Homo-oligomer: A and B are copies of this chain.
Amino acid sequence: MPKQKLNVAMIGAGFIAKAHSNAFQQVGRFFPTPFEFGLRVICARNQAKLEVMASHWGWQEVSTDWREIVSRKDVQVVDIAVPNALHGPIALAAAAAGKILLCEKPLAVSLEEAENMAKAAHHVPNLVWFNYRRVPAVAFAKKLIEEGRLGEAFHYRALYLNQSGNDPAKASGWRYQRAQAGSGATGDLLAHSIDTALYLNGPITQLFAMTRTFFPNRDVDDAVVLMCRFANGSMGTFEATRYGIGCRNRNAFEMNGSKGMVRFNLEDMNWLEFFDASEAPRFEGSRKIMVTGPDHPYWENFWKPGHIIGYEHTFIATLGDFLASLERKQPFHPNFDDAVAVQRVLDAVERSATARNWVSLV
């Protein structure tokens, strides 16, 4: 049976666009699906860079005008992988044209814009690239929590530490400018931690935050710390920083509940630590589970037990699940609404940090 073609227009040609392009190419290899992506057109401002990217990743056409391509007839999917400030205009235009929407995180540069985007996207299938939900170990943690294996939640703590902020060579990029990025570590790193937390531990009801900018004359935050209360009664702490010297990509969380603990670090993404408090005391110990084995999420999609996957597979699995939702005509998560929930927290973070006060989210 021939596959149903979904032609993609990708807006953006940077690092993350490579990860997306790869996922479009690879998803069909690992996930059985009646759909097939066509890499129809890729759009960015720099023509030279664009052509290299197109030939390298198999984009059939290039364009430097996103406005033109988002409404093209031969395009069914618009994938937004540009600086944050452009997410809104592009998404609104593409939604108006009835396209399937895929958008990088954070969804928008303000809560209001995010809400408008979500409203506009309600009538089309949509996805936000919070790809780390599809790390098998994270999906496995979710399953353990749903099964009640952690019991009543007491603590949720997350770190996202890298050392990008202290690198003068990177300082002029769009991620370090408020006009383009909306925020610094908050939207770049904390957004991931918050999405994972909402996914695993449910809504946050109130929070308190502090931000800091270490780099001279930078108008976005280099670091953000927050404490919060979740609706389930547990306490949360989050720290995200671009000044986490010594850490390359430490996107980590742990959760203590009455019945157990889970612990994860993206740098060792094929592993999950799990502590089962119901063990006899002498057997108590955090076990290090290689989440690449029988009965683990996605293990049938990728390689054999013990044969690890990497960063790119989180995008592939995201897309695989998205296509399965599309096939079943059900909403996919995380979608624009989920991303609004994250944005609501980011917005509260900024308000709390400015007002130096608790902010309620309910």
Contact = CB atoms under 8 A, between A and B. Distances in A.
Contact of A293 (B226, B248, B263): B248
B285 A155 contact: no
Given A140-B282, A155-B239, A311-B309, A256 B245 contact: yes
B154 A214 contact: yes
Interface string A334-350: 00000000000000000
Interface in A254-304: 256-261, 263, 267-270, 274-277, 280-290, 292-296, 302-304
Given A286-B246, A293-B281, A308 B267 contact: yes
Contacts of A161: 256
A67 interface: no
A280 B330 CA distance: 32
Given A245-B257, A260-B245, A303-B19, A287 B290 contact: no
A142 interface: no
Of A229, A310, A356, most B-chain CB atoms within 10 Å: A310
A261 B249 contact: no
A29 B225 CA distance: 39
Nearest to A226: B227
A241 interface: yes
Nearest to A214: B154
Contact of A311 (B267, B268, B295, B308): B308
User: Copy number in this complex?
Assistant: 4
Give the contact-size bracket for chain A.
35 or more
B237 A306 contact: no
A321 interface: no
Contacts of A241: 154-155, 256
A358 interface: yes
A274 B284 CA distance: 10
A291 to B, nearest CB: 8
A249 B303 CA distance: 12
A163 B244 CA distance: 28
A26 to B, nearest CB: 8
Contacts of A270: 267, 310
A208 interface: yes
B307 A295 contact: no
A154 B243 contact: yes
A29 B15 contact: no
Interface in A84-135: none
10 contacts: A140-B282, A162-B306, A210-B235, A225-B237, A237-B239, A245-B260, A245-B261, A248-B305, A280-B295, A281-B295
Given A29-B57, A282-B295, A307-B310, 6 more contacts: A155-B223, A248-B305, A282-B294, A303-B310, A309-B311, A309-B312
